Structure 1
């Protein structure tokens, strides 16, 4: 409390009102640190003047969202449109009449302010949910905090608040994690220092008593968010020519941050940045974990190594082998790899659970680095190939690729590729692929063939067709690859694709024996996306003459799996339809007609029961065979 009193005295020297002084002094996690920063405040230029700020940490229980947050503009109600004599819920904050760097807001009663704070939090949590991401690392970027005094027209004492001029979504997410109500922060803890200190002390005591290892994950999430980094506005220096008021400068700052922010990097650049962070994570060894890739592999994957140095390091110069190793290292290896890759993504985005699609996009961006060199402006070349590889490498079987099994490494010759082909043929003969899951050799060959099919001109593998007719093949690239690598002819085709791609030759279609097909004029048939999709349709009629027995049934089962995958994608697509541009999910907010949902669920239930019976029959057969043997 002595440090708080000294900070309050220093704040009074800055000309702040007593309410602003008290709100800031009690909010500082380190009052002594904030007091030192008052002597040399940082400057933040905005249109109309310069904000003077002190960067420090504040207790989360002392900061509330902006009660008139601009994110809600589209949902506000105004007096002019209100019926009868209904008054607006709240008016915009204005500059305090004392000439200080403070805001003032007038309201009828404390309940109006309290309700407005709760409404702001509720909408921000719903429209911009950040709680799960913030729970991982806490708030990383500082909030811009401004003192505001709520003046009540019914004579109730004024209420001094600290509001997030920038960062209302983040502080609302923090309050959601901690179970805080902004109205309680403003009118209960704001009026009683003992209650505020009691709330903070109970967490401090818990950490001291149990230690960090003794806390549950939920408790750790809350401890991480007990305080937030902040840029506290302690002064304002207007431009002499502009003569703008403080509240205008704050509004200009919010506009620069949200309405006219810097131009976004774009997905490709963002994935590039994530890729470097992921490689750093994979190349680092922890106290209990070994590095996932070597330093040489890190430079190989990042593309920051010359072809001569690649050979000297004992790595492969074939770009499809590099693509395969990137895919294996970033997407294969199961949960352990996923955790390491997610750590790298979180270091830039603070996302708690990055999706698999995001990891795939990062891997593809690394794969494209040497391809893009010299083609930076050739969007027509790079963009469709990026899209195809992003879809192709979402093949679920890739997750099962082991980092320890490497068919082709440094100095690999044609024999290694043939061995990979033969292993894939053996897996196909065992029914792998038809069962809905490719084997590891089939998967690795699919990864390498997909690279060359995407890079070819014309492209031998393209993205699915949207909005086409009933005859259009709208299968995603991963599904086409599975259908292709499930057939002996498709495996021989994939082998030929990789061989020709490495030799710089055109990709040609092959027959059942792997021999190049020719046109009526005697020219080789160039492989195209249309030919691939037609030949490996994934339909119930296989290339081989299999109409009865287990082989034919396994092909039909592959169709069932494909239908289930498509249903899952369609459900995800419907869940992703927003209420409005940039808004939350329509069905998550509005739901869907119960009668229609019931009809679909009953149909799915009937199908589920039917195929469950097949599993039961298989188990009975297996038990009978075991008993007889």
Structure 2
């Protein structure tokens, strides 16, 4: 049995969960191909790009307003979208391998010689072409490049947890042969990002040559390959996938900057392949040494706090020196109490949000001054201010969990999106309603004020009231930072998903209803006590599942509850069975933990394990084993039946993973 088969469903417990993908309609693919052909791409390149698009309609709309990327000698016209990973291959003449290449003039054999550098395709389109002696030469070259990149720059662990984060620069390239009757394929290569796409292929078990010479020439096989992963998620559900399967689904698509046009500078006369080479050089040979985005936001955060704490002739300081230290996270928990600040992290988060994002244009100008002092950015966007506020909020969280990047990264992303709630700008610039050092309302009074706003219709198809907004900000902190995230992003490439609403949309729907206000109140109350987050009913009382346990609050549950539909617990069919299966697997985990705890009981204080020294009563052991054997045989029968029922579709071995324990 493989390691993948031995992996437990969802045993990584963290990472990006993409929204369910769907296979595009053929009509949408054809429409995109026609639009690309109209932009000046060849018919072959248009077809290759169209079938590679995860969302053809979205990419076709973006063709009307492409982005311009200046490179030495001209301007590349690009469209940002998502592509199926099974349609993209690494650059076959990757410059990363300079220094290890074997040249003919030095006596290298034909099998070891490098491929020629791609040149501009005939015409003025944004396409490359490469001439190789025989298809076998390209096959070997693509597979060798992938293996070397995976070995020297392994990224598969990060991609398995979070998917590919930074977009690949993708360019169409036609292959021609010196001696072969084969129809030359048109490939989509990575002008930048060959290491990333190689790690993606490593996760999915693809050879680039398979993509170039098998999937590229058979649309039906290409779509069938993608659809098998889509169907796996649909049949088993995300939570039931093994960690390895979740990693593969995260790698199923990649963000991409697709080059769809090129405008050379009039005087330079640079051809397209030179412009692509110049881009690669700027990216890898003489790149700047930038901060990471998190470090940038950290540095900007300190600059913003300086600006807010400084007074001028025309205005007073926006925050006190003590508040600056509190926001910066440089004081201890005891100093927080001594200074009269709230010990609750959600109150600190809400104060930072109000100070950096609330207060209207006056606050925005002060914050922008701090950003400009560090970056010379003339027109900082609201998104920049949100990212800064989030990074300040996360400082204590990162200190505690900085050694777990898969924990921090998705939570940063969700907070950045959730705190783009437009109503935040209307939060008062003075004190908050609840948690202020000089009194203010209690949490219960904040809840009651939000309930009154919801009863008046605020938030229902419009904007939330002040109390609803404040409660949303505070609840969001715990919903995002909890081990089981109860609020996530809408993901990428999910326009047709069942629920592709943004975090802002989910929050607004939640806080506009009585049940949602009570849920947000319970989230804050439980979060402050360090307790798990559970679902509540209309009156705010916890809801129990069929087995008598409180129902844990999850993103899927929140989205389902606050999308206008009444949530009822399934009693029949696959949804009900999946709910009961979750109870079974949880019970197995509890049993494992109980055995481990019992085994750790010492024979005497400080001594060795009692069980390992003396064992346990055989009749009691035999009774427990009979129960376990019966359960084991039952599960084995279920697995055999599943295998028989799904054997004709060839899905048995994949679907069995949920039952391998």
State TM-score, norm by structure 1.
Answer: 0.47
